[in-house]
Copies of this chain bind each other. A is one copy, B any other.
């Protein structure tokens, strides 16, 4: 078996370049599921079943109506699928990815090809549908699937920067026990944005006048009550769909499976926290000041104060897929999220 995780974005660019506006593009992608070990924070590693070896999984970024084909190779020791959460699968319900319902689970060593049209527009995602208590809740089997609308809403056209934040939690007692975990009563003691806990998350760097869109995902089985300092933001989309009217807020509750897109106007230079207000979700195990936490850093605000925790932070771009989302449509892997193979 010579399956590889290959980014089809290059092909897509070519394919899309010659097409008249409004015509559907074709996106093809081949992806392995691999057993990897990721590092949540510090010494805390966690074994995962990882699409393309990464957590979060590759970014799908396509246009409404595009055709998508994914060859999925299961290189792990347990069965898996992909459910494309929020996609309609009109005329293609057997591509919906639910074991024993729309297909058989893909056995170890086997492959399955998903083919479907990307609709409706919005912030969607994908995840395994086998043993979701383990595979989704605590093995990192999820990634973002962004479908740009043919006709964007006016408020979307203001956006200058687009960010993916997938929230999840981890029960460290199961870290090295692939095939187990996610039971009722489990104690989840690590909490992450895109698979990392503070201080190993990354700042969101903006300049005054930016208008940022934060796409928030309840990717695990837990709740996240996300508070942002220094701004009144607008909750504009739920589950990819525009709300009847934007809701002004400083805190947004993201439940399991839900997505909320918020739009925040960068009109208040400073250094501002973004964090989960479920207080225990700022713990890394028994250590406070971690978990679901990051900062908005404005250009022009000095970052070298001696008291600043991130004064010497090494900045890693694309941690929120913000660079990938600027690229032409396609499927984008991200080396930041790569784990190491489990021996």
Segment at the B interface, from A10-18, A128-136, A146-154, A316-324: A128-136
Contact of A207 with B by CB under 8 A: no
**A280 interface residue, CB < 8 Å from B?**
yes
Does A243 sit within 8 A of B, measured CB to CB? yes
- Give bound CA distance, A133 to B286, whole Å: 10
Of the candidates B229, B243, B289, the one whose C-beta lies within 8 Å of that of A83 is B229
Q: Which of A65-73, A107-115, A179-187 contacts B (4 or more CB under 8 A)?
A: A179-187
Interface string of A41-80 (1 = CB under 8 A from B): 0000000000000000000000000000000000000000
Instruction: Say how far A86's CB is from chain B's closest CB, in angstroms.
Output: 5
Within the complex, the shortest CB–CB distance from A89 to chain B, in Å, comes to 6
| Structural contact, A288 and B85, CB atoms closer than 8 A | no
- Contacting residues, chain B, for A301 (C-beta < 8 A): 93
Instruction: Report the nearest B residue to A231, measured CB to CB.
Output: B88
Give residues of chain A (173-220) contacting chain B, Cβ–Cβ below 8 Å.
Answer: 182-189, 218, 220
Are A133 and B282 neighbours in the complex by a CB distance under 8 Å? yes
- Across the interface, A280 reaches (CB within 8 A) one of B100, B103, B221, namely B221
Q: Does the CB pair A93–B255 fall under 8 Å?
A: no
A residues 129-165 near B (Cβ < 8 Å) are 129, 131-134, 136-137
Please give the distance in Å from A69's CB to the nearest CB on chain B. 19
> What's the nearest-Cβ distance from chain B to residue A330, in Å?
24
A272→B230 contact, CB < 8 A: no
Q: CA A99 – CA B86 in complex, angstroms?
A: 40
Give bound CA distance, A255 to B222, whole Å: 13
Please determine whether A225 and B258 come into contact, CB atoms closer than 8 angstroms. yes
A258–B224 CA distance with the chains assembled, in angstroms:
12
Output the residue of A120, A137, A248 with the most chain B CB within 10 A: A248
Report chain B residues within 8 Å CB of A326. none
Select one of B129, B272, B277, B289 contacting A255, CB under 8 A: B277
Which chain B residues lie closer than 8 Å to A3 at the CB level?
A: none
Q: Is the CB of A247 within 8 A of B238?
A: yes
Would A182 and B280 be within 8 Å (CB), given that A101-B308, A295-B101 are in contact? Answer: yes
Closest to A253 in B: B255
A221 to B224, CA, bound (A): 11
Question: Closest 10 CB pairs between A and B?
Answer: A93-B270, A257-B277, A244-B245, A221-B279, A185-B187, A241-B248, A137-B279, A184-B189, A100-B309, A256-B277
| Contacts beyond the supplied A93-B270, A221-B278, A238-B247: 13 A-B pairs with Cβ under 8 Å | A89-B230, A93-B268, A93-B272, A96-B229, A102-B271, A133-B288, A183-B286, A220-B279, A227-B257, A238-B249, A239-B249, A256-B277, A257-B277
Residue pairs across A and B with Cβ atoms less than 8 A apart, 18 shown, are A86-B250, A88-B231, A96-B230, A96-B270, A96-B272, A100-B308, A101-B308, A102-B271, A131-B288, A134-B288, A137-B279, A183-B286, A186-B280, A220-B279, A225-B256, A225-B258, A240-B250, A244-B245
